[in-house]
Amino acid sequence: MTVFECAECGRSLSRDVELLAQLPAHHADEVGPGEMPEATIPRGRYAIDPEPFTHAQVPGPPGDIVLHPEDAVGLLEHPDERRSEGCCGPEGLFGINRICPCGAEVGTLLADCWTACELHLHPTRVRAA
């Protein structure tokens, strides 16, 4: 089991989670407008995204840690409200939108009707404990 913590301050940012062998398929294209997709990752698990994730239209490095959003602990919304834009929830396209209470930008929540439902923790901003 693994707990992810902030690389800046060491605060726990997740519950104990167990690694999946691969990132499951996204469900976003299976729902209609205004509906929320199922979470990509089951509760209590995480996966490593082998592809670069796009933050603010700029690809990041591969290796994001992808969690069920409810497995996060203590994350706060980014103070820049534009980063959490979306019609039904945050799209995740406008930059990192979740911070540690210490202020470090650590992850991106996707939870809009047309996106996958998952939390991406940035691989260089968190560490496994």
Positive or negative: CA dihedral 115, 98, 20, 42:
negative
Rounded Cα distance between 59 and 100, Å, is: 22
pLDDT in tens, 80-93: 999 999 888 898 98
Q: Is the pTM of this model over 0.75?
A: yes
Task: State whether CATH 3.30.1370 applies to domain 1-129.
Answer: no
Domain boundaries, the chain: 1-129
pLDDT in tens, 70-121: 999 999 999 999 999 988 889 898 889 999 999 999 999 999 888 889 999 9
Q: Return all residues near 51 (Cβ < 8 A) that are at least 6 apart.
A: 62
Determine contact, residues 128/10, Cβ cutoff 8 Å: no
